[in-house]
Structure 1
């Protein structure tokens, strides 16, 4: 009886000390820090900000500086996206996928056109995206 009880306690102890871990909750590779229908450039372009000199320019922009910290440049890159001049409001940008590879980060972006009635005014949408990696960025 004592041997049986000892065996049962041993089995319970082994199962309670198993090496299974709870699932990891992964943090997204990016944050959209800023998006606005106004304030962008008249033409469509994006710029990758990865060095301190360019980053310091972001820190002086009144629209962007509330969303970035000086130490971010040590661990992150940033993408400035200007969607160009649009004839109405309602245009947005969607980050479809951010994939980190061994040598780079691939960012897939998609322009979303307005659905239904939109503001009938010229807009210049722009976005700032923080990529949580210092690897080179490829935009698709």
Structure 2
């Protein structure tokens, strides 16, 4: 009987060990690519302050993808493409690298934009939202 209890206790202690490896997060995640709904000017914005990041939670899709600890642990980048007649968002992230002092985000922009005065009902305003899993300063190149 003692052997059975001893084996059960050892099995219990072994199964509760803390040797599990934590999953490494990628440096960045593209949270949303939307072909319409952005602003009428082209800009890239870095959100670093918790108040700025909380505004993203107003979007129904993004609120499901942003966890509460992301507000204090991550930065976000909004890539707004401006007005265009193209159906696909062509502003993409080529790569994201981390240096000792900053995060470098390399953007490729093939979007054919039109002037804001030429807009009509067929005009689209694509944008992309990216989560950077770091609080280091971000430089867009």
Q: What is the TM-score of this pair, normalised by structure 1?
A: 0.71
In structure 1, list runs of 5 or more residues that go unmatched: 1-24, 115-119
Equivalent residue, structure 1, for 2:66: 68
1:98 equivalenced with 2:99 (yes/no): no
TM-score, L = length of structure 2:
0.71
Q: CA deviation at 1:113?
A: 4.5
How many residue pairs match? The answer is 111
Q: Hey, what does 2:40 align to over in structure 1?
A: 42
CA RMSD of aligned residues (A): 2.2
- State the Cα distance separating 1:63 from its structure 2 match: 4.1
Contact 1:48 1:80 in 2 (8 A): yes
Q: How has the CA–CA distance of structure 1 residues 60 and 26 changed in structure 2, closer, same or farther, with 3 Å as cutoff?
A: closer
Alpha-carbon distance between aligned partners in 1 of 2:70 and 2:89, rounded to the nearest angstrom: 28
Any stretches of 5+ residues in structure 2 without a counterpart? Answer: 1-22, 113-120
Q: 1:26 to 1:53 in 2, by over 3 A?
A: closer
Tell me if 1:136 matches 2:134. no
In 2, distance between residues paired with 1:96 and 1:27? 18
Structure 2 distance, partners of 1:38, 1:113, is 13
Q: Using the TM superposition, give the Cα deviation of residue 130 of structure 1 relative to its aligned residue in structure 2, in angstroms.
A: 0.5
C-alpha distance in 2, partners of 1:135/1:36?
A: 26
Name the SS of the counterpart of 2:69 in structure 1. Answer: helix
**1:68-127 Cα shifts (integer Å, max 9, x gaps):** 12210222100011100002212322211111011100000112458xxxxx93211011
8 Å Cα contact 1:91-1:111 kept in structure 2 = no
Bigger Rg over Cα? 1
SS at match of 1:74: helix
Residue in structure 2 matched with residue 11 of structure 1 by the alignment: none
CA contact (8 A) 1:88 1:121 kept: no
Q: How does 1:1-140 map to 2 (within 5 A)?
A: 27-113=25-111, 121-140=122-141
